[in-house]
Amino acid sequence: MSKGSIHRLRSNPVAALAFSVIVLLIAIAVIGPWFNPNNIESLDWAHVAAYPSLTGAHWLGTDRLGRDLFARTLEGMRVSLAVACVAGAISLSLGLAYGAVAGYAGGRWDQLMMRFIEVLSGLPLIFFVIFLTVIFGRSQYLLFLAIGAIGWLTMARIVRGQTLSIRQREFIEAAIASGAGTGRIILRHVVPNLLGPVIVYATLTIPQIILFESFLSFLGLGIQEPHASLGTLIAEGAGEMEAAPWILLVPGGVLAVLLVCLNIVGDGLRDAIVGREGAAT
């Protein structure tokens, strides 16, 4: 990313605000536990389903087993963000490599590789995940892999499309004329020029992944007790909605704020980078 696009991103106040909110949320998720006397597993039988109160022992209240909601929400944020990062990284690297190779090879290879992507994206997602959990048992890592393995399909398509257009540019011809081999051309001359759209798409994928993970956890296919993700917390809260709405509202609110901010930052990033590409001709 050039200095210009960072500057453009900074001068977009909404995106800058959203970015600060994300940084703040991540900071709270990481350092919050040191300031909170309660941990995620301890049951406080004296305060079951307690109201949120800043002066009490539980700042955001407790759930129906007396577990501290603040501690559990922090845990949920950490897990959700970790899933997003790992699955995002998997889909990014796989999609980038696959798409760049298909687009640069072109012709029959391109056709073959893209048909394979179409077959994979035709598989029903939920069925795929259930299938994996049945075979390999439930585990966090499997969840990371499964979500990443699905996210890379769209990434590969986007990368391939961009590669097809970059392949036609003269500097690629000049690089071939200077005797660079195919691997070097893809790594040094094609991939770095893809990073703009790829970063934007990756930023917009992260909220989708968080949402998808929450959805899987809500269905009981994702993170297991005693660990929590935002999705399991919401599922738990949904059961107590009438008696203790804060058990739903706290993780739900955090999820909503996180998703909105990520989407705004992604949009701002796209504007900043597309602006750069428009200006650099």
Partner 1 sequence: MTPTLDIENLSVHFPHRDGAIAAVREASLAVLPAECVGIVGESGSGKTQTFMAAMGLLSAGACAAGSVRFEGREILGASPSELNRVRGSKLTMIFQDPMTSLTPHLKVGIQLAEVLVNHSHMSWREAEKAALRALERVRVPEAQRRLRQYPHELSGGMRQRVMIGMSLLCEPKLLIADEPTTALDVTVQAQIMEILRAMRTELRMAIVLISHDLGLVAGLADRIVVMYAGRVVESAGAADILGRAVHPYTAELLKCVPDLRRPRLERMPSLAGQAPSAGGSETGCAFAPRCPQAGERCRSERPELRAIGGAVHQAACHYPLPA
Contact characters 110-149, partner 1, x per CB under 8 A: ----------------------------------------
107 binds partner 1 (CB under 8 A): yes
Q: Which of 217, 236, 231, 224 is nearest to 259 (CA)?
A: 231
For the CB of residue 104, give the shortest distance to partner 1 in the complex, in Å: 12
Out of 23, 31, 57, 176, point to the residue binding partner 1 (CB under 8 A): 176
Q: Which is nearer to partner 1, 198 or 244 (CB)?
A: 198
- Going by C-beta distance under 8 Å and a sequence separation of 6 or more, which residues neighbour residue 223? 79, 140, 143, 213, 217, 229, 231, 232
For the CB of residue 185, give the shortest distance to partner 1 in the complex, in Å: 10
Out of 170, 225, 243, 278, point to the residue binding partner 1 (CB under 8 A): 170
Q: Which is nearer to partner 1, 142 or 180 (CB)?
A: 180
182 binds partner 1 (CB under 8 A): yes
Q: CA 210, CA 136: separation in Å to the nearest integer?
A: 22
For the CB of residue 273, give the shortest distance to partner 1 in the complex, in Å: 13
| Long-range contacts from 236-243, C-beta under 8 angstroms, 24+ separation | 236/63, 237/63, 240/49, 240/63, 240/64, 243/49
| Long-range contacts from 248-257, C-beta under 8 angstroms, 24+ separation | 250/52, 250/60, 250/61, 250/69, 250/73, 251/72, 251/73, 251/76, 254/25, 254/73, 254/76, 254/77, 254/230, 255/80, 255/210, 255/214, 255/230, 257/21, 257/25
Nearest-5° angle of CA 8, CA 10, CA 12?
75
178 binds partner 1 (CB under 8 A): yes
7 binds partner 1 (CB under 8 A): no
Q: Which is nearer to partner 1, 121 or 182 (CB)?
A: 182
Of 7-15, 20-28, 110-118, 187-195, which part binds partner 1 (CB under 8 A)?
Answer: 187-195
243 binds partner 1 (CB under 8 A): no
225 binds partner 1 (CB under 8 A): no
For the CB of residue 280, give the shortest distance to partner 1 in the complex, in Å: 6
User: What residues between 150 and 169 interact with partner 1 by CB under 8 A?
Assistant: 169
Contact characters 47-86, partner 1, x per CB under 8 A: ----------------------------------------
In the chain, where does DSSP find H-type helix?
A: 3-10, 13-35, 69-105, 107-122, 125-136, 140-167, 170-177, 182-184, 191-218, 230-239, 246-279
Q: CA 234, CA 121: separation in Å to the nearest integer?
A: 28
For the CB of residue 2, give the shortest distance to partner 1 in the complex, in Å: 9
189 binds partner 1 (CB under 8 A): yes
Contact positions vs partner 1 (CB under 8 A)? 106-107, 169-171, 173-182, 184, 188-189, 192-193, 280
